[in-house]
Amino acid sequence: MKNAYYGVRVDVLELVPQRCKMLLDVGCGTGLTAAAMKEKTQGKVYGLELFAEVAKQAELRMDGVFVEDVSSFFDKTPTQKYDCIVFADILEHIVDPWKVLRQSREFLLPGGVVIISIPNIRFYTTFFHLLFRAEWPYHDRGIHDRTHLRFFTRKNVIQLVKSAGFRFEQFRPYYLIADKKTVLNKLRRFVGIPGIRGFFTFQYHMVISPLHR
């Protein structure tokens, strides 16, 4: 089981508005981040998880878990709606993330928001592997997770959000120097300068809301 299923995503949690009382965590894993959302908002938090054995753990921490593929879930008429939907490093695993994000609008209550974390394929390690190792880097986690189906740069992210009928409320690059625990990452605040910051942006974090609602 991947490490991504464990631990609280503090970077995502801080984007969740405290006013939200009906939340859906897409790809909730074991539910640790969802539990933190529940504590922060004092609302109801539901999860969507593909793997049944993982969902059983999440159910202990949440108000309910749907065991289903993301694409089929959003392809249906919603039976309940949410004021916050979280896609934390999920959209890149979907065959058609443009369609899923567009469909998620119908699952939002008036005034609702969507929170997204998505990896930046323009991270410098992509070029290092291609230029110096002549290979595409396949890993078990991170930007080059072998299960990723779609790849995004900053421009691709903006196009994704706008084409799905959303506008940005917040948009934050998350800088790293290395995709592992290292003292070098203490210097990451120094790489957020024009010209190089795109190569040290590990993920983009955002809060978006529907247009014309």
Measured over the CA atoms of residue 188, residue 92, residue 115 and residue 22, the dihedral's sign is negative
Contact criterion met (CB below 8 Å) for 65 and 47:
yes
Contact criterion met (CB below 8 Å) for 59 and 33:
no
Contact criterion met (CB below 8 Å) for 176 and 37:
no
Buried b (16+ CB within 10 A) or exposed e, 1-12: eeebbeeebeeb
Number of domain units in the chain: 1
Q: What is the pLDDT of residues 42-89, one digit of tens each?
A: 999 999 999 999 999 999 999 999 999 999 999 999 999 999 999 999
Q: What type of residue sits at position 84?
A: C
Q: What is the pLDDT of residues 10-37, one digit of tens each?
A: 999 999 999 999 999 999 999 999 999 9
The Cα 138–Cα 105 span in angstroms is 33
Q: What is the pLDDT of residues 158-198, one digit of tens each?
A: 999 999 999 999 999 999 877 777 766 677 777 878 888 99
Could you tell me the CATH number of the domain that includes residue 170? 3.40.50.150
Burial (0-12, 13-18, 19+ Cβ within 10 Å), 203: buried
What's the pLDDT score for residue 192? 79
* Of 16, 4, 29, 163, residue with least CA distance to 97: 163
What's the pLDDT score for residue 178? 72
Which residue segment(s) compose the domain that 199 sits in?
3-210
Higher pLDDT among residues 134 and 6, named by residue? 134
* Of 162, 133, 138, 166, residue with least CA distance to 151: 138
Cβ count near 69 (within 10 Å): 12
What's the pLDDT score for residue 5? 53
The band of 3, judged by pLDDT with boundaries at 50, 70 and 90, is very low
